[in-house]
Chains A and B, each alone.
Chain A
Amino acid sequence: MTLVSDVSPDKHVVVDPVLTMRGINKGFGAVQALTDIDLDIYPGEVVALVGDNGAGKSTLVKILAGVHPPDSGTVTFNDKKVSIPSPAASRELGIATVFQDLALCDNLDVVSNLFLGREIGAFSLDEVEMESRSWELLRQLSAKIPSVRIAVASLSGGQRQTVAIARSLIGEPTVVILDEPTAALGVAQTAEVLNLIERLRERGLGVLLISHNLADVQAVADRCVVLRLGRNNGVFRVAEVSYEEIIAAITGATDNVVTRRAAATSANNEETSK
């Protein structure tokens, strides 16, 4: 899986972002988790969101997923200003989220978890249809799950993660957010998830991928957004940036304007300092 992503510089001139965040602030009591965050997600693009532990990545995800409302700032979805007050609202917009803490119901079986909130047949559940579709979905992800009729509690960490990822694909999302989706996965399953991310991009979905694994980021992401201590700390076009430069932005070792490249929205990537 080498880097073959399309990085034609004017790709985004014609396409509007599907999702835009501007000036997002979020505090938890004394902790200012996010300060003045900007983020764009384009259709057919994989954006990697990287940053150290506690940088605020999951908080950003939760704002988009409707788990926490932002204190201030705007979210624009398909050119419309939206508020995302609840997870249900986020789903209705077409945002599917895989949470870092997975958010599965341990007492329910795999099928029930996959279709939770989206069951087929409100007054007479179609278990057969749901089970067949579960198997189809899990097979695509090369999931090693022996039975979909066992409680999720009895699955291994990676199996649970696969279930959480599979769940985000049910329904027809336009933006998929994956918070450290491969953290617990085996080699084959990680490769499948990366393949899946590429398939999602081909289908024109916007993907926000959070990962600490820069190899994965470099393999699938088009753009890489760095957060540091709750602030934007650079946006890079993955094809044109070195591993070291991303590390530097994450850790803040060379936190200066020269290394900061705002490549995302600009048509010209040769822009250097301001």
Chain B
Amino acid sequence: MTQTPATPTPMSATPTDLQDERLLRPTGFGGTVGASIRRVRGGDLGSLPVVVGLVVIWAVFEVLNSAFLTPGNLSDLLVQSAATGVISVGIVLVLLLGQIDLSVGSVAGLASAILGVLLVQYHWPEWLIIPAVVLAGVVIGLVYGFLFVRFGVPSFVITLAGLLSVLGLQLFVLGPLGTINLGFTSFITEFSLLLFVPPWLTYVLAAIAAVGYGATAYLSASKRRNAGLSAPSLAWTLIKAAILLVFMVVGSAYLNTSVTGGIGDSFVLLVVLVVIMNYALTRTKWGRSVFAVGGNVEAARRAGIRVNRVYVSVFVLCSAFAAMGGLLLAGNLGSASPSTGTTDTNLNAIAAAVIGGTSLFGGRGSAYSALLGIVVIQSISNGLGLLSLDSSVRYMVTGVVLLLAVIVDSLSRRSRTAHGRA
């Protein structure tokens, strides 16, 4: 397409992408802010509802019990979030495809059982156990992917069967031993429960994150400008990077004042996994095809995407994340037992993804929803625990919050249709 005579040479200095006269041109600082507001009005809520929800939840619990927002408690809360949060990252992926995995709890339980047996009975070194357990998750994901692609069985049926079979496998692996204590000298236990990032390192990490964010935003903006496209104003980029920095430094400083806690290694692992998955989803060809398949499978197929590979890769990743979460779960409890992963792990992981803003309808969501969602759920659980309310209330409240999240999802979908963003 090189032979068109009268291409660009744009009229005046208007960026190529803003030349249509019907566009409300978001130029400069005010324009960038205005565009964000319009986006939210149009039903493109992103993570706004969950952030608002989190603030409300924290405020309510702090009023009810002033121990809630103490550094020690928040530090615990983040450590408790890590295991289910990691599982939830995998759930986000399957939800993006418009599928579901109901067996992540069982897979996590199986992972903990394998860990217990290999560590305590066979005395494998832990550096070998970790990849072995993740590999078990990969194999389960491959089986799901194969069944889904080959026979076209709905994923909720496959994984419901998986829930039972894998639970059976978990009990089989544990065998007559029942509960296996890992002992607190195990690295996995220490990592998921006892290790915290040294304070100085938290600030270094915060600075790296903020500078990294600012630099990538700045570079991509200048690249856009050079290509004659519009770009967010420099001021706005700087402000966002500064807000990020202040938020992280203040947060770290506050958590670091806790005597026994701080920022847990396991929580940092969760954040790192979320950031990596966010990159994979938004900046790679694979991620683009995940969204495409979730939005319209047939269109994706006709665009030449190898749809089956996308499905298999996502089921594999989901089960692998579930296995990793299972390791953290066992580490948190210091043991592998027949009940590890059984109770509410499954539903919490799924609820976290949905509460965090990933649509159940497929094709819409973000890796960050796993992080935000699990913090919400863990806050509720932790807060109600402080009020010494038992699990009956906790289940009911979590259920209501999940319902609210799904309603927000459905409503914003409707609003998107009305505003033409379906």
Contact surface of A with B, Cβ cutoff 8 Å = 65, 67, 86-88, 90-92, 97, 99, 103-108, 112, 116-119, 121-125, 127-129, 131-132, 135-137, 139-140, 144-151, 153-154, 167, 169, 199
Contacts and interface: CB of A to CB of B under 8 A. Distances in A.
Given A117-B304, A128-B223, A103 B298 contact: yes
B363 A146 contact: no
Nearest to B20: A146
Interface string B150-187: 00000000000000000000000000000000000000
Interface in B287-320: 288-289, 291-292, 294-296, 298-306
Given A107-B296, A125-B283, A153-B420, 10 more contacts: A65-B302, A103-B296, A104-B296, A107-B295, A112-B288, A121-B285, A122-B286, A139-B8, A147-B20, A153-B416
B43 to A, nearest CB: 11
Contact of B295 (A105, A119, A125, A137): A105
A67 B299 CA distance: 11
A104 to B, nearest CB: 6
Interface in B187-242: 220, 223-224, 227-229
Given A103-B298, A135-B17, A122 B291 contact: no
B291 A107 contact: yes
Interface of B: 1, 3-4, 7-8, 16-17, 20, 22-23, 220, 223-224, 227-229, 283-286, 288-289, 291-292, 294-296, 298-306, 363-364, 416-417, 419-422
Contacts of A117: 289, 300, 303-305
Given A128-B229, A132-B16, A135-B17, A106 B303 contact: no
Contact of A107 (B227, B305, B363): B363
Given A88-B304, A116-B300, A117-B304, A122 B229 contact: no
Contacts of B420: 151, 153-154
B1 A136 contact: yes
A153 B361 CA distance: 15
Contacts of A103: 296, 298-299, 302-303
B407 to A, nearest CB: 20
Nearest to A148: B17
B223 A116 contact: no
A116 B303 contact: yes
Given A67-B302, A107-B295, A124-B283, A147 B421 contact: no
Contacts of A129: 227
B220 to A, nearest CB: 7
B284 A106 contact: no
Contacts of A106: 295-296, 422
Nearest to B225: A128
A202 B291 CA distance: 37
Contacts of B291: 105, 107-108, 112
A124 B284 contact: yes
Contacts of A86: 301, 304
Contacts of A146: 20, 22-23
Contacts of A131: 17, 224, 227, 229
A251 B306 CA distance: 40
B302 A99 contact: yes
Contact of B305 (A116, A122, A132, A147): A116
A128 B227 contact: yes
A67 B298 CA distance: 9
27 contacts: A67-B302, A86-B301, A88-B305, A103-B296, A105-B300, A106-B296, A107-B294, A112-B292, A116-B289, A117-B304, A119-B285, A123-B285, A124-B284, A125-B284, A128-B223, A128-B227, A128-B229, A131-B224, A131-B227, A140-B7, A144-B20, A146-B23, A147-B17, A147-B23, A153-B417, A153-B421, A153-B422
